[in-house]
Amino acid sequence: MSNPYTDMAKTELAFCIGTNMTECHPVAATFLKKAIARGAKLIVADPRRIRLAEMADLYLPLRVGSDVALLLGMAHVIAREGLVDQAFMAARTTGGAAFLEHVQQFTPEWAAEITGVPAQDIETAAIWYGSANAAAIYYTLGITEHICGVDNVQSLCNLALMTGNLGVEGGGINPMRGQNNIQGAGDAGAIPNSYAGFQPVDIPENQAKFEALYGRPLDSERGMTKVSALEQAGESIFAMLIDGENTLVSDPDRTHGEHALKSLDHLVVIDIFLTETAALAHVVLPATAWAETDGHFTNSERRIQRVRRAVTPPGEAKPDWWIVSALATRLGFAGFAYDSPKEVFNELCRVSPIYAGIDWGMAEKGEYQWPIPYKGHPGTPRLHEDEFINGRGIFRVINYRDPAEVVDAAYPVWLTTGRRLQTYHTRTQTGRAQGIEYFVPEEVLEVHPDNVAAWGLQDGGWATMRSRRGSIRIKVKATERSPRGTVFASFAFNETPVNILTGSGYDPITQTAELKVCPVRVEAYEEVAGPA
Amino acid sequence: MSTQPSINEIPLQNAGIQKTRSVCGYCGVGCSLDILTKDDRIIGIQPAMDGPSNKGALCVKGQFAYDYVHHPDRLTQPLVRRADGQLHPTTWDEALDVAAQGFQRAVDQHGRHAVYGIASGRTPSEANYAMQKFMRAGFGTNHIDNCSRA
């Protein structure tokens, strides 16, 4: 997030797109509710009539995967209506002239044709966003889990740049991260293209710096993404270490994923339970859980916060940093003789310019948001206030593309996936919490009541849902949250493995899977010999 | 935490209940909370009213979905797959040996880019830093990623 959570309550207009905030980031939604109570306007763009849509002043029910078209249409109107922040564009951005010329062709009527949102509503959304003194964009995986995820994000950046909504209180571009420390994983360098602190591996100075720190030659080429590595399993990747991820259930195209993991010569999994993924491993190493270990999480607003051990871990479970270091030492690798998480964290701070101003003791109260470039620096709650990291904000010329697969006669229905309020991811944790079972005992497919009738389904009955990759059996729930022709299910339940169906395509730059769009066919389930 | 107990905490202390300040382990909002423990078990969670990102708010998962920590299914010993094809409990010493040998074999046969690490978005940053260092400084490859792409 470019701006802190506390800015949410200060916005004049919140534009929420591809975020089911009340279910997936409920506490963030409480700040938004405060802003609305104070008089802020809310625009919600989402294919499903989610709770947030009910709260909105303007709801844009766009077709799944049509975000770029909506955002181009909005940019067209902002330019046409003279709502561009000329001073901001001149002083702080580059590429603006080409962008403004590019959007001239994308009328709201053109966007309406693709998105299914009335042209008049696209006009209103653009005028509201363009006229507000401080307008904030909030998004999550509904924007990124597409083959055009990068295009979607850059389209949002274009809107913020053309209206000067960056570096201002109550504004900004704010992706909310779905996992407690996914931000910290990137910060710490657990990505194929950068060392800790987002220092690219393919810049020679960075390579030299880390070669000196780590005392060995390092690789100047970017590593593979996880998606490529799973494709290469048994081809060029033969041994894998997976820490705390139920890859098999969470990732798209499950049949392919299972084959990939089984193709490895050697799989080592570190986890707290014997997940479906751990059950395929050659070695399983028991880790401490949350509340059993000391360390740090970094949240969506780049706030580095201390987590603490409150109870003794069960049996011989060990902290993840200890396990990895012990394995490294066993392989004869130098530099892993850590005695405490404090030593690991202080090394991370020393080698990362964005963490350079803190150490283990200073992060106690969670008051620092990175970048904290030197000791005595107060941290950076709001990014881009004076200057962009690369100097100027860059406009990108983006065009709309169809999803990897579109509906046709064989697969005429759009399936979109996500999470629910009470369950988390693959239920490794929430599936083992008693109260949660009471709320969400099983997965259901949300179908518009008209479609339930038209497709010969029963509310509460079973359906077969098929894609080009496989089929599953799932219980039907009639609800007007789903628009006609689009159905929704979460991927939480191993018993209802929705990710057998997904995996139609990947963003070419980030290799993020298009989990939000999958054409399917839904029919009444017919009992054959034996259970499904 | 060695801060002076407030008047609200005296009954907790008298009942043998400890409070540990931490951060929720679910989504990326990063809500501060207090873990209430008694006899080394978690018995409840309280939102931290002074939490910098949540200001006293918590959701249904953060407030109630903690009992997995003490679930009987928790892994308590390392497991290795033996000749019968099944996973069997073992010592850390053997498990680390088998784990290390498998990586060494892959590198010996196919080179340093034949290994891959997937770090977690759930573990603390210390685990993530160790994982990427394991791949980069240990094997000499940038084959490291986390679960943010799915």
Every domain of chain B and the residues it spans:
7-70, 79-149
Residues A255 and A199 in one domain: yes
State whether the Cα torsion A121-A127-A130-A136 is positive or negative: negative
CB contact under 8 A, A273 and B97: no
Query: B3 pLDDT band (50/70/90 cuts)?
Result: low
Q: Which residue from B32, B126, B131 is facing A366, i.e. has the nearest CB?
A: B32
Nearest one of A492, A447, A479, A449 to A465, comparing CA atoms? A447
CB contact under 8 A, A333 and B35: no
Instruction: Please list every residue in chain B whose beta carbon sits closer than 8 Å to the beta carbon of residue A24.
Output: 27
Query: 3-state class of A466 per DSSP?
Result: strand
CB contact under 8 A, B106 and A182: no
Residue B17: is its pLDDT beyond 70? yes
Residues A188 and A86 in one domain: no
Angle, vertex CA A8, rays to CA A5 and CA A9, nearest 5: 115
DSSP A138: E
Of A137, A160, A176, the domain-final residue: A176
For residue A362, is it within any domain? no
For residue A379, is it within any domain? no
State whether the Cα torsion A433-A366-B16-B10 is positive or negative: negative
Of A151, A176, A201, the domain-final residue: A176
DSSP A335: S
The backbone torsions φ and ψ at residue A284, rounded to the nearest 5 degrees and listed phi first, read: -120, 125
Residues A86 and A217 in one domain: no
For residue A188, is it within any domain? yes
> Looking at the 3D structure of chain A, how many domains does it have?
3
The backbone torsions φ and ψ at residue B39, rounded to the nearest 5 degrees and listed phi first, read: 50, 45
For residue A380, is it within any domain? no
Candidates B36, B64, B149: best to mutate against A (most CBs of A within 10 A) is B149
CB contact under 8 A, B122 and A435: no
Residues A217 and A149 in one domain: no
* Residue A132: per-residue pLDDT: 96
CATH number at residue A57: 3.40.228.10
CB contact under 8 A, B28 and A318: no
* C-alpha to C-alpha distance for B66 and B58, rounded to whole angstroms: 13
Nearest one of A192, A158, A152 to A175, comparing CA atoms? A152
Candidates A193, A230, A305, A364: best to mutate against B (most CBs of B within 10 A) is A305
Residues A196 and A162 in one domain: no
Tell me how many residue pairs between chain A and chain B have CB atoms under 8 A apart.
463
Residues A129 and A274 in one domain: no
CATH number at residue A351: 3.40.50.740
CB contact under 8 A, B22 and A338: no
Nearest one of A488, A358, A469, A475 to A411, comparing CA atoms? A469
CATH number at residue A447: 2.40.40.20
> How long is chain B?
150
Looking at chain B, which residue has its C-alpha nearest residue A311? Answer: B40
**Per-residue DSSP letters for B85-132?**
SSEEE--HHHHHHHHHHHHHHHHHHH-GGGEEEEE-SSS-HHHHHHHH
Query: 3-state class of A416 per DSSP?
Result: strand
CB contact under 8 A, B115 and A238: yes
Residues A422 and A293 in one domain: no
Q: What is the pLDDT along chain A (532 residues), one digit of tens a residue?
A: 999 999 998 999 999 999 999 988 999 999 999 999 999 999 999 999 999 999 999 999 999 999 999 999 999 999 999 999 999 999 999 999 999 999 999 999 999 999 999 999 999 999 999 999 999 999 999 999 899 999 999 999 999 999 999 999 999 999 998 899 999 999 999 999 999 999 999 999 999 999 999 999 999 999 999 999 999 999 999 999 999 988 888 777 888 889 999 999 999 999 999 999 999 999 999 999 999 999 999 999 999 999 999 999 999 999 999 999 999 999 999 999 999 999 999 999 999 999 999 999 999 999 999 999 999 999 999 999 887 777 899 999 999 999 999 999 999 999 999 888 777 677 777 777 776 666 677 889 999 999 999 999 999 999 999 999 999 999 999 999 999 999 999 987 878 888 889 987 888 888 888 889 999 999 999 876 544 4
Residues A150 and A188 in one domain: no
Of A120, A154, A176, the domain-final residue: A176
Looking at chain B, which residue has its C-alpha nearest residue A341? Answer: B126
Alpha-carbon torsion angle A104, A110, A112, A114, nearest 10? -120
* Residue A420: per-residue pLDDT: 81
* C-alpha to C-alpha distance for A32 and A26, rounded to whole angstroms: 10
* C-alpha to C-alpha distance for B127 and A207, rounded to whole angstroms: 22
Nearest one of A126, A153, A177 to A13, comparing CA atoms? A126
A518 touches A405 (CB < 8 A): yes
Instruction: Please list every residue in chain A whose beta carbon sits closer than 8 Å to the beta carbon of residue B96.
Output: 326-327, 330
Looking at chain B, which residue has its C-alpha nearest residue A342? Answer: B126
Angle between helices B125-133 and A341-351 (to 10 degrees): 70
Task: For domain B7-70, say whether CATH 2.20.25.90 is its number.
Answer: yes
Residues A156 and A230 in one domain: no
B94-149 pLDDT per residue, tens: 999 999 999 999 999 999 999 999 999 999 999 999 999 999 999 999 999 998 76
Residues A160 and A216 in one domain: no
Q: Which residue from A291, A314, A435 is facing B74, i.e. has the nearest CB?
A: A314
Residues A480 and A461 in one domain: yes
* C-alpha to C-alpha distance for A368 and A358, rounded to whole angstroms: 8
B142 touches B135 (CB < 8 A): yes
* Residue A470: per-residue pLDDT: 93
Residues A102 and A31 in one domain: yes
* C-alpha to C-alpha distance for A109 and A500, rounded to whole angstroms: 37
Cβ neighbourhood burial of A256 (10 Å; 0-12, 13-18, 19+): middle
CB contact under 8 A, B65 and A433: yes
Instruction: Please list every residue in chain A whose beta carbon sits closer than 8 Å to the beta carbon of residue B20.
Output: 291, 308-310
Nearest one of A92, A110, A82 to A157, comparing CA atoms? A92
Q: Which residues contact A289 (CB under 8 A, 6 or more apart)?
A: A272, A313, A317, B68, B69, B74
Domain that holds residue A198: 182-355
* Residue B2: per-residue pLDDT: 47
For residue A385, is it within any domain? no
* Residue A442: per-residue pLDDT: 84
